[in-house]
Structure 1
Amino acid sequence: MASNYSFDIVSDFDQQELVNAIDQTVREIKSRYDLKDTQTTVELANEAIAINTDSEFTLDAVHSILQQKAAKRNLSLKIFDYGKVESASGNRVRQEIKLKKGISQEIAKQISKLIRDEFKKVQPSIQGDVVRVSSKDKDDLQTVIQRLKQEDLPVALQFTNYR
């Protein structure tokens, strides 16, 4: 029997599910009557999504479609970091949505402070953009996971490598 149990707290998303959500969004834009003739494009780059459409009204409609499709595919809406709306050529608008991956140092410190303050038998440690939590008791780790799920942090959290 292991003397210490641990798990990692990460902020990540399934890239293939995001690709599928964007494909579904593009399909719905092409089939919806109010968006059909807007020549809206939604393109996925490495770490961002670029939306080009004819007005801010249609941009809001595209946002709601994208959020709906992402939520259906179990993607957290916290991965989207909306940039400012820019005007493009021909009275069109463009927006870049950055995709958030990884836990920043400030948020990692906030998470480990919360764990240290509330759970005395649990040791958090920051390792790059991952927070590793270890304890001698599996039940303590389960309690930490439940507590972090209740916390409203600006990033989507996943719990991996539970052993």
Structure 2
Amino acid sequence: MSDSPRTGASIRKMTTSDLGCVLAWRNHPEIRRYMYTQHEIGFAEHSVWFEKASLDTRKHLLIFEMNGLPQGYINITTLNSGGIADWGFYIAPEAIKGTGRQLGQMALTYAFETIGLHKVCGQALAFNERSIKFHRGLGFQQEGILRDQYHDGKNYHAVICFGLISHEWPRPCEKDKHVKS
């Protein structure tokens, strides 16, 4: 897939051998609390999801690695033939500071340069201030607020919608880019 020789960061396709690690990240309380589905997911449910999602040609299920060690998960789902996609992601709870930014930069480079997308869309629950700041820091523009869009079983929450168009993406320097074949 792609890597950055300067940082030891790379992105690759998710495989069945990643299921346990991705499930552990997803079920971690600090990740799960910001997800639309907040129950603890079992391995059987996770495996069924992966099997189905892996067959969906619109989905790009990716693992972000630092120096060969998995550090994050990325899901890019194309929505139509116009090159527009939604993305979702999370990093390993124990990842070092700055890992999320590297994941975001590499995922967006992959989205725009490898897949050839025109636009990447993201959403964040309004109380997820880190995700909102993260999206803005990567150059996303806030495109809307869906008021009381998500109910967590007790309260309603707004959803913040973001978009980043390919010509807005600040591409990394050519010397920092390396693509594996």
Do the structures match in fold with TM over 0.5? Answer: no
> Which structure's residues are more often strand, by fraction?
2
> Which structure's residues are more often helix, by fraction?
1
TM-score, length of structure 1 as denominator length = 0.30
Structure number with larger C-alpha Rg: 1
TM-score, length of structure 2 as denominator length = 0.27
